[in-house]
């Protein structure tokens, strides 16, 4: 079917389709005119095949209404949601800028990266306060307004934090593997800290030029988020590692509690880190230039917000953000480039876009005496008597290896997180009681589990997954020959 035929086939009362913006497996997106208000909107129309699924359509409407309750400068606004003649649709703010994904052909400069991170963190802080977790924070879902503001889009899989829908039950991990949190990979219940982990994964990719974990197999990527340590940033941006550590901590309790907390910590780090000196100086220079340019003609030294805005190349409405300096990130040593904007939805391809003018944002207020943030907290210390430790480890094994639990393929609480997993607890029992039969049997059962999963990964052609699972099995039983053969002879690239 041609694009013209598709456009003609979309007939939703109150909306006039102008052109296609993007198309994916779950929905198509059009630029449309909302006739009652004479405004352009991005109209997301669910794929007809999905519209036949009553459970899915119910969720689509419910979660669309949830997103429509959110109103924040760093979140895309949802205007309307409903169904007409069998077509389920969602109308939202049309932002004719560009996605972050489109701007990531090279490593993004530090100031621009921090600017995007702060904007999205503030949007998430607001959504989380309202009880909504996004669950799919990624570059393709970050758009840009004409003034350079980063905006989080597509709450298509968002949910209320206190809900218990099918989408949150075991075995239904939802999100994008490159950015999903460990608890999301295990299909556990998530809260706002899961979104902050995804923000950290996005930050790593912006600074390093590649995602934190990668593989041709989505399952393997999810497993890496659970089992691999937090990746190290390149040397030139290593001073930002404390922020990454707090965002991508394996345990939610060790992450920033809110997006606002991340913003405050990043400002403290910029204020004190020697590596940020050039950024601070650039900010001070721009501030002095803007102040001189904003002085009124005739020698009047009284400044107006509008005058400062014009001097800095911004419109008056943008200047109003200076009233809350924590809303804007530092952009130093260069111009924030605003790329061509289009629309990306449910993994669909961008098919429209255009250039807009670069604009520099206001600098934040920096308190020089604030201390630098600390690294992530140390692992939990395993303590307890033999009986209580065994009971805890046995419970973890039962949860992870239950035959009916499809999420057990990740091995929840078997080998991670550090300091609170069955393998380390059984090993602690053996240090307290050498040769303890229950601990030995528990470790053997875990090794069996990982060996079976490693062989299944090999059968699927996932070499990396096979290797990771075999390594996990060997951490439970380093003497198991079959696992060593599997890892060293079979789970290797040909």
**122, 126, 129, 135 alpha-carbon torsion, rounded to 10°:** -80
Query: 171 with 243, same domain?
Result: yes
* CATH number, residue 430: 1.25.40
Q: What percent of the chain has pLDDT over 90?
A: 42
- Stretches where the chain sits below pLDDT 50 are 1-6, 160-173, 294-380, 404-407
Domain identity same for 268 and 372: yes
pLDDT value, residue 333: 33
Asked if residue 324 and residue 209 are part of one domain, the reply reads yes
Model pTM score: 0.68
129 and 229 both lie in a single domain: yes
Same domain, 73 and 118: no
Which residues form the domain of 418?
Answer: 386-490
DSSP-derived letter for residue 490 is I
Number of domains in the chain: 3
What's the pLDDT score for residue 279?
83
DSSP 75: B
- Same domain, yes or no: 41 and 188: no
For 33-50, the pLDDT digits (tens) are 999 999 999 998 988 888
Pair (344, 416) in one structural domain: no
271 — phi, psi (to 5°)?
-70, -25
Q: How far apart are CA 418 and CA 488, in angstroms?
A: 25
Domain shared by 26 and 156, yes or no: no
Q: What is the pLDDT of residue 316?
A: 34
Residue with tokens 């470790």: 443
Catalytic residues: 136
Asked if residue 13 and residue 130 are part of one domain, the reply reads: no
Co-location of 176 and 219 in the same domain: yes
Strand partners of residue 29:
22, 44
pLDDT given for residue 193 in this prediction: 97
The predicted-structure confidence for 326-374, as pLDDT tens digits, reads as follows 333 323 333 222 222 222 222 333 333 333 333 343 333 333 333 334 4
The CATH code of the domain that includes 277 is 1.10.510.10
Q: What does the radius of gyration of the chain's CA atoms come to, in whole angstroms? A: 25
Cα gap 245→411, rounded to integer Å: 23
pLDDT at 259: 97
| Domain end position, chosen among 377, 399, 424 | 377
- The pLDDT, as a whole number, for residue 403 is 55
Phi, psi at residue 216, to the nearest 5°?
Answer: -75, -10
For the record, the structure tokens of 61 come out as 């409407």
Q: Are residues 230 and 109 in the same domain?
A: yes
Q: Are residues 368 and 396 in the same domain?
A: no
Tell me the two tokens of residue 82.
């409903």
Q: So what's the pLDDT on residue 161?
A: 45
């Amino acid at each position: 079917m041609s694009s013209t035929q598709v456009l003609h086939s979309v007939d939703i009362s109150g909306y006039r389709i102008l052109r296609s913006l993007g198309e994916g497996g779950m929905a198509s997106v059009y630029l449309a005119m909302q006739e009652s208000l004479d405004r352009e909107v991005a109209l997301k129309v669910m794929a007809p095949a999905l519209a036949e699924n009553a459970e899915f359509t119910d969720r689509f409407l419910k979660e669309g209404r949830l997103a429509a309750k959110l109103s924040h400068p760093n979140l895309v606004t949802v205007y309307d949601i409903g169904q007409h003649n069998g077509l389920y649709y969602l109308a939202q703010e049309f932002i004719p800028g560009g996605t972050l994904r489109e701007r990531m052909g090279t490593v993004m400069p530090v100031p621009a990266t921090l600017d995007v991170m702060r904007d999205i963190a503030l949007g998430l802080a607001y959504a989380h306060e309202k009880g909504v977790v996004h669950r799919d924070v990624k570059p393709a879902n970050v758009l840009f307004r004409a003034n350079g503001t980063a905006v989080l889009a597509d709450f298509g899989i968002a949910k209320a934090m206190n809900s218990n829908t099918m989408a949150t039950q075991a075995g239904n991990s939802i999100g994008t593997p490159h950015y999903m949190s460990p608890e999301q990979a295990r299909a556990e219940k998530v809260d706002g800290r899961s979104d902050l982990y995804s923000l950290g994964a996005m930050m790593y990719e912006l600074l390093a030029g590649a995602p934190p974990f990668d593989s041709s197999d989505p399952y393997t990527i999810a497993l890496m988020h659970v089992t691999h340590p937090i990746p190290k940033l390149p040397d030139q941006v290593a001073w930002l590692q404390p922020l990454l550590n707090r965002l991508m901590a394996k345990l939610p309790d060790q992450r920033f509690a809110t997006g606002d907390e991340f913003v405050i910590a990043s400002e403290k780090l910029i204020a004190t880190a020697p590596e940020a000196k050039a950024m601070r100086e650039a900010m001070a220079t721009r501030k002095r230039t803007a102040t001189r340019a904003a002085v009124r003609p005739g020698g009047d030294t009284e400044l107006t917000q509008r005058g400062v805005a014009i001097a800095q190349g911004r419109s008056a409405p943008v200047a109003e953000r200076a009233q809350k300096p924590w809303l804007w990130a530092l952009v130093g040593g260069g111009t924030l480039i605003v790329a061509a904007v289009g629309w990306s939805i449910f993994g669909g391809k961008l098919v429209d876009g255009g250039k807009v003018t670069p604009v520099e944002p206001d600098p934040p207020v920096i308190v020089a005496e604030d201390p630098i943030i600390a690294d992530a907290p140390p692992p939990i210390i395993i303590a307890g008597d033999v009986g209580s430790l065994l009971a805890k480890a046995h419970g973890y094994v039962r949860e992870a290896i239950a035959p009916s639990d499809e999420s057990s393929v990740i091995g929840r609480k078997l080998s991670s997180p550090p300091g609170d997993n069955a393998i380390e607890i059984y090993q602690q029992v053996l240090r307290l009681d050498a040769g303890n039969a229950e601990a030995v049997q528990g470790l053997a059962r875990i090794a069996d589990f990982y060996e079976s999963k490693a062989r299944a990964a090999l059968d699927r052609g996932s070499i990396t997954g096979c290797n990771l699972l075999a390594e996990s099995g060997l951490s439970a039983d380093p003497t198991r020959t079959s696992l060593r053969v599997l890892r060293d002879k079979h789970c290797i690239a040909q």
